[in-house]
Structure 1
Amino acid sequence: MKKIPAGTWVLVADGEEARLFRNAGTDYKASLEQMELIKPRDLLDDGPSGRRPPELNEQSIDEATFAKQLVNRLNAAALQNKYEHLVLMADPQTLGQMRPQLHQETERRIIREVAKTFTNAPLEDIQHALHEE
């Protein structure tokens, strides 16, 4: 059984939305409280990071931009010491877009990554997945 310390932030994301939780339970029995529902904003003004392959369609560009917005938020919060531990739960594509943009302070706080889509999953399924090996 995986340990998820009390107070850990859990980001559950895909390319279209994200849910940010905090573990209000114990280290071995997560009880997640939703802190925020995050939707993409100002996608045309922001744009994805890095070079953009010409074959990307509009939806892929929007998803990459949203991943960048999520990383910017996590990086800023890490640098302000708003959380000590972080779990990233995202579909493999979103997780792959986020990884190279993570600040070293954010990376240092990651205790677990789950490359699976849980954005529309019931809370019980998310909590159960946190403790699986």
Structure 2
Amino acid sequence: MNNTWVLVANASEARLFNLIKSDLERVKSFSHDESRMKGEDLASDRPGAYQSDVNREGHGSYAEPTNPKEHEKDRFARELADILNKARSENQFNELVIVASPHFHGLINQHLDDESSKKVSHHIEKDYTQVEDGDMLEILLPYLRPYLKE
């Protein structure tokens, strides 16, 4: 099978397309609502507090090790990368084009395995998640032209 998949994503939603001849066919859509939530809604409560020995003055609070919102973005990136890694191992695509906002693009790249990373033929650091499916090919045409089959 000789085909190209195109992942269009940001931290809260993603669409996976298969480039067939000169058309993009949606394979699947993904949503991660937690990435849209406010940080304080994601954390269980305020940071824990501590007090030093009774005879000594001192107290403070523990800082959160990671921002809850950033953690959710990373979780979604890992989920998408796991799907791509599995699909690559099942030979569902030969080439992969990743279209994502710069920061989220980096998160996805961190979670792709080595073999899947080798399949990425083009990186587009833009957020095109608001583009309608029917308009996606036209928007991405300058990047996808080498992969189009007549």
Normalising by the residue count of structure 2, what TM-score does the alignment of the two structures yield?
0.67
**Are 2:96 and 1:96 aligned?**
no
Distance in 1 of aligned mates of 2:139 and 2:20: 14
8 Å CA contact 1:32, 1:127 repeated in 2: no
**Distance (whole Å) between structure 1 residues aligned to residue 142 and residue 74 of structure 2:** 25
Q: What is the CA–CA distance in structure 2 between the aligned matches of 1:100 and 1:63, rounded to whole Å?
A: 12
Task: From the CA coordinates, give the structure whose radius of gyration is larger.
Answer: 2
Consecutive unaligned residues of structure 2, counting only runs of 5 or more, are 36-41, 43-63, 146-150
Give the unaligned 5+ runs of structure 1.
1-5, 45-52
2:7 aligned to which of 5, 11, 17: 11
Equivalent residues of 2:34, 2:72 under 8 A apart: no
Q: Which residue of 1 aligns with 2:17?
A: 21
Regions of 4+ moved over 2 Å:
40-44, 124-132
Q: 1:83 aligns to what SS in structure 2? A: coil
Structure-2 residue corresponding to 1:47: none
| Change in CA separation of 1:107 and 1:8 when aligned onto 2, cut-off 3 Å | same
Q: SS of the residue aligned with 2:28? A: strand
The question of whether the paired residues in 1 share the 8 Å contact of 2:18 and 2:24 is answered with yes
Q: Name the one with the larger strand percent.
A: 2
Q: Over aligned residues, Cα RMSD in angstroms?
A: 2.6
Matched, 1:35 2:46: no
Count of residues in correspondence between the two structures: 115
